[in-house]
Structure 1
């Protein structure tokens, strides 16, 4: 035990000297509801509804490789209503022969942000666990599911010490509500397993991934409620009319998904 403590102490000192000190686990907080929403003619500020804005830094700011100091500064200067900054880099593969290289890039990126602003709370969109539908629920067999878990363990052991929260992606690919719940339970459970006690905030999107149709109200509410039971919070992302150049969807305050969201928010408010 004495040797283990010694090596942990040395490891922490080396992290501090290198400027790559790990984030510490956080105590369990009340359920959080974030948004990163944009609509045509929609609300510019969702805080009056009980939604806190979450700032995301993506390749539009950071580029496609490890960001330089100027890109990090620009990301840190993005408007934020809280200490969280989520980094969204989806072009570094975490499966296959480039996994080790990608992990190193993620570590370098986190270290740059930590040195630039030690107070920022960092997370990666969709990195931990690797988002998976079929392997996660065991559809492809026990061996495939175990391989998915082992990959998550390798990635998390390298990256979780440097983030303040995990942000798994739980977007909707299929119209089967029960199948989505099973997929969410498996991915959130895996996030919990590798999170080292840090909070798990799930990214949800009220549109179907492939068709961009909005989810029915009851399906969307089931997603919100599932995350309320299993996670520490959610991030509601959107919207898309079509391709990235088509712009956001026109705001409809009577839309089923939004009415279900208002119901959910009122329940959260009453409970807390």
Structure 2
């Protein structure tokens, strides 16, 4: 048993600093504002800190998290997203401290960030020395937003930083949509992305919706789930969800209409 948090754990994310399919680390995040990094092989905790207000007097509740090989993103109850550099956290190897100043911070939603997902594919702001990635955020307001994230390395005595686009509500993304509206009520409870052609969102309205990242349009939706729909596990052909009381639901998209009408058995 690994002990690093004092309240409900809201996210567990694999972290691969080399981009390998088999991650060497995993991240755990708790609603009381703590996060920890663990070694997969040994189970050792190599980093742990508490997200605090600017004055250091109070912990900030964390509602969700997502990670890639370079950054960790936390969604806060304040509506902000904060980003930390994975290599810098590993290098510091501290436990039980206040989290360092984040490498990036921006207001994403009014009323809290309730879902995060590092999306598949690269962004469109790639430059000669760095490339951008895509981050999806869902809020208590029932809105999903898409952001381009640019990581800039430390240089000339300046620390590394994580920048976001768009920075202002009047700015637009290049070949991508920024805002996705369709859920009848919030919060957004889960996000999933498997390729650059679509991503999925789940909401407290009991629906799962698929979106076109480039056009911002809804591709299709699935209704009839409960408000407790909180998990989306997606690959190219299969979606696994909760949200049906005590059942885990497997949605197989790789069947034709006749086979689906006559019934079939899933092979596991």
TM-score (norm: length of structure 1): 0.27
Of the two structures, which has the highest relative contact order with CA contacts closer than 8 Å and spacing of 6 or more? 1
Structure 1 or 2: more strand by fraction: 2
